[in-house]
Structure 1
Amino acid sequence: MASSAARPATDDRTPENDVASRLLDSSAQLSYDPLTEVDWETPLDKDFHGASPEWSTLYGTAYWHELTEAQRKELTRQEAASVASTGIWFEMILQQMVLRDVYAKDPTTDQVQWALTEIADECRHSIMFARGARKLGAPAYRPHRVAVELGRAFKTLAFGEAAYAAILVAEEVLDVMQRDWMRDERVVPFVRTINNIHVVEESRHMKFARDETRKHLARAGRIRRQIHSFVIAVAAYVIVTSMVNKKVYANAGLDEKRAIEAAKNNEHHKSMMRSSCSGLMDFLASAGLLTKPALAFYKRAHLI
C-alpha cells in the first residue's frame, strides 16, 4: 500500500468542497501502487479462474455443462480480460470528461484537487488492467467500432449530470462483480488483488460521482433532465453490452456462434446483472433519471 503524506490544512471547507475534502483525506490514508502491490512476476496458474464462474456469460447454460473445467477456467480468464479492456476504454473517457469539467476552475480548491487525484487513480487503474489482461493471456479486446465512435462523441459533448451519472453507471456495475471476484478463492490471486485495489479506490470515485450528479441536477430544468436521463441510459447500454467481447469464446477454444447464442439467452447472467444494479437504479430513480425512454434502454441491457 502506498502511504501518502498528510494534506496541509485548508480553510475552504465550503459545502461544495466538503465531499472532495473528505475524499482527499481518504486517498491520503488508503491508496495503492499496482506496480508494487500486484504480483506480476509469478507465472499464470491455469488451475484458477479469471473471474467467479457464476459471472460467466455462459454459466448455467447447457453449453456450460458440456465444458471441461479447463475450458471453463480459460473462458473466465478471457472474459475477465475483456471486462478489464472495456474498463480501460471507459476510464479514458472518464478522465477526459473530468478534466474538461475542471478546466479553468480554481486549482487551489479541494474539488479540483480531488478531480486531479481521481484522474491519477484512473491512469494507474488503466495500466493495471492492461497488465492484468496481458498476464491472463488475452489479446487487446476493443469495443465495437460503433461503441468507440459513440464514446468519442459522448466524451466530447457530455457535461454535468450526464457525464457524472454515466461514470457512476460504469463504476457501479464493475464494483459489484469485482467484490465477488476479490473474495473468491477460485480466482487467480493476482486478479483478486487487482479487484481489491479497484474496489477500494473506486468507492471514493462513486461517492464523488453521486455528489456531482445531485449537485448538477439541482440546477437542471425539466427538458434538460429528460434529455440527460436518455443520454445516460444509452451510455449505460453501450458500456454494459461492450463488457464481454464476442471474440472471447473463440479465444477460449469454444464454438463462437453457439456460445454467442447461449450467452444471449442466458437468464442467469441477466439476473446477475439486474441484481448488481439494484442500488444504482434506486439512486437514478431518486434523482429523477428513470424516465420511460431511459427505462427502455436499461431493460434492453438487463439492468432492471
Structure 2
Amino acid sequence: MASSTVRPDLSTSADRPDEQDVARRLLDSAAQLAYDPATEVDWETPLDKDFHGASPEWSTLYGTAYWNELSEAQRKELTRQEAASVASTGIWFEMILQQMVLRDIYAKDPTGAEFQWALTEIAEECRHSIMFARGAQKLGAPAYRPHRLVLELGRAFKTLAFGEAAYAAILVAEEVLDVMQRDWMRDERVVPFVRTINNIHVVEESRHMKFARDETRKRLRGAGWARRQINAFVVAVASYFIVTSMVNKKVYENAGLDAERAIAEAKANQQHKAMMRSSCSGLMEFLASARLLTKPALAFYRRAHLI
C-alpha cells in the first residue's frame, strides 16, 4: 500500500472560510457532548460472565453448526474474546489515524477551526484507545494484534498515505466499527460496561466520520481519473486488511474452542458475511458517490464481504 509523500497545505483559514464551517460545528458539538471514559465507564464492578461481550448475531460463528453445539457459557466467552479483539484492532487503527491526521495538519494555520478540530479528534481518539485497552483487559482477553505483515503494511500506510486516501480509509474503519457498536450498545445481553464503551464511541465517532466524509469530498475536488483510480485502490486494500484483522484467529483457542474447526466454519459463515454487507450499504453508497468504487477496488471490498 503506497502513495505519495505528504504535501503540506500552507494556506490559512482566512483563505478558505467556507471550508472551516464543518470543523466549527464539530468543535461546538465536542464542547457540548463529550465523555471522559475514566469516570463514565464502570471499571470497578467485576466482570459478570452471565453477559455476552457483543451481540451474539455479530459473532463470527453465529449460525454455524459449531455455534449450535456450544453451551451458553461458551458462546458468551467467545463473544467476549471477539469484542476484545475488535477493540484491539480499533486501538491499532486509531494509532494510525492519529499519526495521519497530525501529519496532515503539521503546517496548517493553528488559528483555523480545522486545525483545532483535528487536535480535538486526536484527543478523543487517545481516550478511546485507553478505553478500549481497559475494556479488553476487563473482558479477560490477551493483547490481540494483527498479523506481522499487516502491522508492517499499516506502518507504511500511516507514513505514506495522505489526502483522500488517508481520510477515506479512516472513514471505512470508523463506519465498519460504528455499525457493530450501534447494535451492541442497545443489546441488554451485552455486559453493561461494554455497552457504555460502545455508546461513548458511537457518539464521538459520529463527529469523526462527518469530518472524514467532508475531507474526502474536499480533497477529491477536481481529481482526475488516474488519481481516483490510484486512491480508490489504496483505500480498498487498506480496508481489506483492517476488516479482516478485526477478529484474531486466536480468539477461538482462548475461548476454549477447537480452533481449527472454528476458523474453518467462521471462514465459510455466510450469515456473518451477510451481516457485514448489509451494515456497510451506506458506506458503499458514499464511496460510489465519491467515485472510489473502481473495478479493482470492488474486488477487495468483495473479498472483505463489504459489498
Q: How high is the TM-score relative to the length of structure 1?
A: 0.96
8 Å CA contact 1:181–1:187 kept in 2: the answer is yes
8 Å CA contact 1:229–1:290 kept in 2: the answer is yes
Q: CA deviation at 1:104?
A: 1.4
Q: CA deviation at 1:264?
A: 0.2
Q: Deviations over 1:232-254 (max 9, x none)?
A: 00000000000000000000000
- Residues 1:158 and 1:13: Cα distance change in structure 2 (over 3 Å): closer
Q: Does residue 117 of structure 1 match 2:112? A: no
8 Å CA contact 1:48–1:187 kept in 2: the answer is yes
Q: Match for residue 23 of structure 1?
A: 26
Q: Does residue 283 of structure 1 match 2:280? A: no
Aligned positions of 1:251-266 closer than 5 A: 251-266=254-269
**Structure 1: which 5+ residue stretches go unaligned?**
1-9
Q: Match for residue 6 of structure 1?
A: none
Q: CA deviation at 1:12?
A: 9.3
- Residues 1:13 and 1:185: Cα distance change in structure 2 (over 3 Å): farther
8 Å CA contact 1:169–1:280 kept in 2: the answer is yes
Q: Does residue 292 of structure 1 match 2:295? A: yes
Measured in 1, the distance between the counterparts of 2:129 and 2:25 equals: 24
1:148 to 151, 154, 165: 151
Q: Match for residue 214 of structure 1?
A: 217
Measured in 2, the distance between the counterparts of 1:11 and 1:250 equals: 56
1:55 to 51, 55, 58: 58
Q: Does residue 43 of structure 1 match 2:46? A: yes
Measured in 2, the distance between the counterparts of 1:142 and 1:278 equals: 28
Moved over 2 A (4+): 10-13
Q: Does residue 90 of structure 1 match 2:116? A: no
Measured in 1, the distance between the counterparts of 2:122 and 2:209 equals: 13
Could you tell me which amino acid in structure 1 is paired with residue 138 of structure 2? K
Q: Match for residue 131 of structure 1?
A: 134
Q: Does residue 184 of structure 1 match 2:187? A: yes
Aligned-residue sequence identity (percent) comes to 85
Measured in 1, the distance between the counterparts of 2:118 and 2:222 equals: 21
Q: Does residue 237 of structure 1 match 2:213? A: no
Measured in 2, the distance between the counterparts of 1:211 and 1:96 equals: 19
Q: Match for residue 158 of structure 1?
A: 161
Q: Match for residue 105 of structure 2?
A: 102
Measured in 2, the distance between the counterparts of 1:257 and 1:46 equals: 25
Query: Cα RMSD over matched residues?
Result: 1.2
8 Å CA contact 1:12–1:110 kept in 2: the answer is no
Structure having greater relative contact order (Cα 8 Å, sep ≥ 6): 2
Measured in 2, the distance between the counterparts of 1:246 and 1:133 equals: 16
Q: Match for residue 273 of structure 2?
A: 270
Q: CA deviation at 1:13?
A: 8.5
Q: CA deviation at 1:69?
A: 0.1
| Aligned length, in residue pairs | 295
Please, which moves more after superposition, 11-20 or 31-40?
A: 11-20
